[in-house]
């Protein structure tokens, strides 16, 4: 059954009002018509099963027949603070991180970040990445959608660490601890994982994070690329907390 994203405010009583863009996808790309069964989710843990009851230039309506709701609260809330990589790799990082269950993505501008984003373009980038997260959630069956933050400078982000219970920085410092030793007892709380750019975090950034209580972690003998490291950590966290 086809699955689509709607905003929570678009759910009104026993109906769902689908926006023009998503309605166009349903009617013109998927070629769905009146009476076809669909599933819509609103990103808050609710999923609506119903049938298309109206199609117009203003949008599309779904008559709800059943509402499924899951508890989206988690023992572990994982945030990925990812230094912006070159080219379009951030698109893939957002997509795959969403599939791996990340709850929040913070794009970082570090000292060694090669990509330069002007202040005026940062909101546009955030909107693009948020839409990628929505699409990935739709594809993989998530009922919630991770929040993608506006790109922020690393030194400014260090002032925002207080809400996190555990902060881990993946880096090449000689003071690192193997990741398995850092996560063995992580069973609850808000976890932040910081991943640097090509060339790693600078020594000054590593020291600044360490002084704020960040744990410096190693991901093993091999040096992983920036766009691989975060996904590796999310996979390890998933395994450790899956009960497998």
Mean of pLDDT values over 56-80? 85
Q: Does one domain contain both 117 and 225?
A: yes
Instruction: Return d(Cα 208, Cα 229) in angstroms, integer.
Output: 21
Q: Does one domain contain both 23 and 86?
A: no
Domain boundary among 69, 97, 127: 69
Q: Does one domain contain both 157 and 213?
A: yes
Q: Does one domain contain both 28 and 92?
A: no
Q: Does one domain contain both 221 and 126?
A: yes
Instruction: Return d(Cα 180, Cα 5) in angstroms, integer.
Output: 36
Mean of pLDDT values over 172-199? 92
Q: Structural domain of residue 38, as residue ranges?
A: 2-69
Q: Does one domain contain both 21 and 83?
A: no
Residue 166's pLDDT is what?
95
Domain boundary among 69, 85, 117: 69
pLDDT tens, position by position, 186-227? 878 999 999 999 999 999 999 999 999 999 999 999 999 999
Q: Does one domain contain both 21 and 109?
A: no
Residue 119's pLDDT is what?
82
Within 8 A by CB and 6+ apart from 145, the residues are 5, 43, 98, 130, 133, 134, 137
pLDDT tens, position by position, 13-39? 999 988 777 787 788 777 888 899 999
Tell whether the model's pLDDT for residue 52 goes beyond 80. yes
Tell whether the model's pLDDT for residue 244 goes beyond 50. no
Q: Does one domain contain both 226 and 160?
A: yes
Query: What is the value of pTM for the model shown?
Result: 0.88
Tell whether the model's pLDDT for residue 116 goes beyond 60. yes
Q: Does one domain contain both 13 and 85?
A: no
CATH number at residue 25: 2.40.240.20
- In a 10 Å sphere around its CB, with 0-12 CB exposed, 13-18 middle and 19+ buried, how is residue 159 labelled? exposed
Domain boundary among 14, 41, 69: 69
Give the number of domains in the chain. Answer: 2
Do 6 and 18 contact (CB within 8 A), yes or no?
A: yes
- Beta bridge partners, 167, equal 192
Q: Does one domain contain both 90 and 153?
A: yes
CATH number at residue 183: 3.40.1280.10
Q: Does one domain contain both 24 and 81?
A: no
Residue by residue, DSSP assigns 173-194 as -TT-EEHHHHHTT--SEEEEEE
What band does 87 get if pLDDT is binned at 50, 70 and 90?
confident
Q: Does one domain contain both 138 and 160?
A: yes
């Amino acid at each position: 059954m086809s699955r689509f994203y709607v905003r929570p405010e678009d759910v009104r009583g026993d109906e769902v009002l689908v926006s023009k863009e998503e309605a166009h996808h349903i009617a013109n790309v998927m070629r769905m018509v009146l009476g076809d069964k669909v599933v819509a989710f609103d990103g808050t843990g609710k999923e609506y099963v119903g049938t298309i009851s109206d199609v117009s230039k203003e949008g599309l309506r779904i008559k709800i027949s059943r509402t499924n709701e899951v508890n989206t609260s988690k023992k572990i809330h994982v945030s990925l603070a990812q230094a912006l990589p070159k080219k379009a790799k951030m698109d893939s990082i957002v997509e795959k991180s969403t599939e791996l269950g990340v709850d929040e993505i913070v794009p970082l501008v570090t000292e060694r970040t090669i990509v330069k984003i002007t202040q005026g373009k940062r909101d546009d980038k955030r909107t693009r990445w948020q839409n990628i997260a929505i699409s990935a959630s739709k594809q993989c069956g998530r009922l919630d959608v991770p929040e993608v933050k506006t790109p922020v400078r690393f030194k400014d982000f260090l002032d925002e660490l207080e809400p996190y219970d555990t902060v881990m920085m993946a880096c090449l410092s000689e003071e690192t601890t193997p990741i398995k030793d850092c996560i063995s007892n992580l069973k609850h709380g808000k976890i932040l994982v910081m991943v640097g750019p090509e060339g790693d975090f600078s020594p000054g950034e590593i020291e600044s994070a360490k002084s704020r209580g960040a744990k410096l972690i190693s991901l093993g003998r091999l040096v992983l690329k920036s766009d691989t490291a975060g996904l590796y950590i999310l996979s390890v966290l998933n395994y450790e907390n899956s009960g497998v």
